[in-house]
Structure 1
């Protein structure tokens, strides 16, 4: 985090409702996954444990649905991967073309469709499976490797789905908690908590309502009442923040159905440029470790898929978090391996060594986007050191190589995004402000929380991008954001006094 970033690191790490519960849940799932992986001798336990951080959600419905989607995607990827390799196994150029194609399509859809990161993850799985041919030349062994990849992915996801169905936080309860938070924020409508809740819009509540309907917790009239209450709570807080008397909304329209392809998917050049930049970084890292026979640093290519974001500021921020988390996780892992691991000669000892750092990583990972990714990387690098085999690590070379790969991949993605079609978070923030001004000049008086949230969305995006712009060492946009917020509040005042 930059020194000027707000809130402070201590505030980011402060306890929040549900944070302790979720951190303990993640830690428990990691320990159970490790136990099963060691008992069944499932390889790449570090990846299985890291997948829990990647797929974990704050309510049972979302966690179950995410786990099932990823299981289906993994099954499809493994099945198609086996068929695909039969056609390209003997032709390196065809294999390289397939790798490039999956990378480009996956990263394009991650920016241009509602699949988002899931599309990028699918592209990565396909691309990574194609690279296994470089180290496993025998077709029969590749088939077995694919089978194990499926187990590595499905084991933690199945556990997550089972636990969530059994004891996970219910989406209806999470919706009630969120509405209560909106109501509590009325006591300090100009505070940071109120601003954060308003900037989120109604999307979190829409998600909770959707999953509550899927699990049969809120259907029909009950779901309609929940929609109305959520809209009213947001409407009251938005008015209070603008200095107006809180009042219930006049209407509560349902959320609009999101199309598969986002607006401007093909007319806007940025999704294509983003996919090309990630593809260039993937090819550079893959070409480097293949040419020099350094498959042990293959995490360099993996890093390219998970660090890249839309602007330079966002990407630089993600790289800073990845570097920080990776170095802390590696340092803790090596210290534990040298001083404590020799005393842990059974699975119980291993779990005792895993639990505290996993909990710390989970606590950080459950924070806002300012720090969350550092927790993920802390966990990953710690797992890479301690879970490199089925017994106590005999050395640090394997873990060190993977960590070096992470650092190398981060450097490559930074260089590519800085030189090829560099996109500034500052410019995007100003574009978002202009989008808000256009909307304010044409919009009718908002009569619902959803209408206000729609008008506020560009301002929230501009605020977030302005913070990311600090990682580009660009001029501070605080004054621009403050003026935009003043215009937004002035519009709400005019709307309240407009004739009905």
Structure 2
């Protein structure tokens, strides 16, 4: 049964969705262009250059440009630091190892501390790896040349990414329109279904992260990609479609079939005309119940936006002193993480230096690439790296045996890389749960195909690099499960505390006569992150793993608290006390979470009853 279940899961995550094919061909095409540029201009380690593309490329052209510029600046600063360190350490092995340790520790710590782990790890990797190459550079001149080549290897794909996205990238405003259409389609599908006893799960209605829409909208504003009027239209569409899904999730069971059909047909009508910048439709009115009336209002405001429906008043300060005390993450946790990453990298460096086997230097790179804050996240990434490494190596070996020997032009290489990168790019463009497997398939394929300045048929070099990846995986697994293992449950409970505090803030805002969606939007983002983290629990070790009861309780908790907050989207004039109390009574009748860093069940019940209900009296 288990293999069949896994096949179904993989199949579901491989299914197409809007935008996936577009990102796939863009990644494959840009990788092929990078490979050709590297071959023509003899840029070393072209596989790593292509890897940076598949690792960093997003669907939003403007986001890619920002990322490429930021990475280029950071890597340039890192290389400038390496020049200073090179002069200090080129003649001393002890100083070199010390600098590798302290620089790696420092940048990994900073990345974890400021929640930019991947950037911190990347800078630490560049500095540490380049310093390890000094043993092969007996003179300062050769070391300088090697460092400059490394900078060229890293910045060339960033330059290509900028040019490519300016010419062929997908614009932020187009992505927003796709997401709004997807929300309308979801609402239409749910409204068109018959009422069932169980409520629709909120995560199915908001499966796309609201945070992504917020990022795309910010980019449109920053780059002034649309007129002021059109930007206001996009802001309103973002607000109304989010509101629409929230209201649909709490639509009463006694809503008549005629009303549901009317709303579903209206969603379809808007979908048919959404590309029209002067979108205007007939206004519909329903009085079946309060929720259906508000769904009607949201659709009317979306379809007939006049430019003056967005309130521009400043947010009122939230005076909520009833916050849930959340146990802060100890600073020691960041130090432990930095130490584990650094010691793993140095162990790998020591192994391939001791055996004089430089071909497996990918072991050190692996330690920085797969390391994440919790044990579950790290093991999850290690698992995807193993799977991707083996699949990518198989594709690369078959290409090296049956295709590469017959390539006689740069055009053939271009086609080989483009076709070979389609599968990994497709996986990378999919769910976050499996996307890293696509990155690793692409890297393993490139490592076996590109070696030197021409298509490679040397399987020995490819074999060494794959073995290096497997060595790095083994070392990371041992270090992260033995030294201070960190449970992902700590992250989950931190986010639950934040969700409860956002709920209290939303109610306090209503008490002050303020109706806005920012807290609700943040709550949705946190709920999506909890849902993702719960899927990683299976990768926990026995000492840190949550029980099935805990998992069930957390899922129910997040679903219920999100639906409770959906009620707050109703107009301020509506008395929501009874509605909220009915939902809350059902919520509190179930076993809640007993966890030190939130509150035990009695305290949580008391907090919800005393704070939320008392505030509702004044709404």
State whether TM-score is above 0.5: yes
**Alignment partner, residue 71 of structure 2:** 70
The reply on whether 1:470 has 2:538 as its aligned counterpart is yes
**Alignment partner, residue 240 of structure 1:** 248
The reply on whether 1:359 has 2:452 as its aligned counterpart is no
Q: Which runs of 5+ in 2 are unaligned?
A: 191-198, 253-290, 299-308, 316-325, 571-575, 578-617
Are 1:95 and 1:130, in contact at CA under 8 Å, matched by a contact in 2?
Answer: yes
Give, in angstroms, the shift of residue 139 of structure 1. 1.5
Farther off after superposition, 31-40 or 107-116 = 107-116
Give, in angstroms, the shift of residue 411 of structure 1. 1.1
Give, in angstroms, the shift of residue 220 of structure 1. 4.8
C-alpha separation in 1, matches of 2:361 and 2:90: 20
Question: Greater relative contact order: 1 or 2 (C-alpha under 8 angstroms, separation 6 or more)?
Answer: 1
The number of equivalent residue pairs is 492
The reply on whether 1:216 has 2:224 as its aligned counterpart is yes
**Alignment partner, residue 388 of structure 1:** 451
Deviations 1:400-459 (A, max 9, x none): 111111111111111111111111224543453354345545651663332212334443
Give, in angstroms, the shift of residue 63 of structure 1. 0.9
C-alpha separation in 2, matches of 1:220 and 1:19: 30
The reply on whether 1:433 has 2:496 as its aligned counterpart is yes
Which among 308, 312, 323 is matched to residue 386 of structure 2? 323
Give, in angstroms, the shift of residue 218 of structure 1. 3.6
Structure with bigger gyration radius:
2
Alignment of 1:176-325 (within 5 A): 176-188=177-189, 195=203, 198=206, 201-218=209-226, 220=228, 222-243=230-251, 245=291, 246=295, 248=298, 267-325=330-388
**Alignment partner, residue 83 of structure 2:** 82
C-alpha separation in 1, matches of 2:368 and 2:464: 18
Deviations 1:51-95 (A, max 9, x none): 110221211111111111112222222222122211221222222
Q: 1:273 to 1:140 in 2, by over 3 A?
A: same
Q: 1:253 to 1:283 in 2, by over 3 A?
A: farther
Farther off after superposition, 432-441 or 72-81 = 432-441
C-alpha separation in 2, matches of 1:235 and 1:227: 12
Q: 1:133 to 1:348 in 2, by over 3 A?
A: same
Farther off after superposition, 130-139 or 182-191 = 182-191
Give, in angstroms, the shift of residue 142 of structure 1. 1.2
Farther off after superposition, 410-419 or 421-430 = 421-430
Give, in angstroms, the shift of residue 200 of structure 1. 5.2
Are 1:60 and 1:171, in contact at CA under 8 Å, matched by a contact in 2?
Answer: yes
Give, in angstroms, the shift of residue 215 of structure 1. 2.5
The reply on whether 1:453 has 2:514 as its aligned counterpart is no
**Alignment partner, residue 162 of structure 1:** 163
Deviations 1:138-179 (A, max 9, x none): 211111111111221122111110011122111122122222
Are 2:400 and 2:457, in contact at CA under 8 Å, matched by a contact in 1?
Answer: no
Give the TM-score, by structure 2 length: 0.73
Deviations 1:19-73 (A, max 9, x none): 1122111111112111111111111111111111022121111111111111222
C-alpha separation in 2, matches of 1:289 and 1:252: 61
Instruction: Give RMSD over aligned pairs.
Output: 2.9
Report the secondary structure of 1:8's partner residue: helix
**Alignment partner, residue 113 of structure 1:** 114
Are 2:173 and 2:220, in contact at CA under 8 Å, matched by a contact in 1?
Answer: yes
**Alignment partner, residue 104 of structure 1:** 105
Q: 1:410 to 1:493 in 2, by over 3 A?
A: same
Are 2:427 and 2:437, in contact at CA under 8 Å, matched by a contact in 1?
Answer: yes
Give, in angstroms, the shift of residue 288 of structure 1. 1.6
C-alpha separation in 2, matches of 1:160 and 1:438: 40
Alignment of 1:15-30 (within 5 A): 15-30=16-31
Q: 1:191 to 1:285 in 2, by over 3 A?
A: farther
The reply on whether 1:377 has 2:440 as its aligned counterpart is yes
Report the secondary structure of 1:269's partner residue: helix
Give, in angstroms, the shift of residue 221 of structure 1. 5.3
Q: 1:197 to 1:486 in 2, by over 3 A?
A: closer
C-alpha separation in 2, matches of 1:196 and 1:88: 55
Give, in angstroms, the shift of residue 378 of structure 1. 0.6
Give the TM-score, by structure 1 length: 0.90
C-alpha separation in 2, matches of 1:44 and 1:276: 28
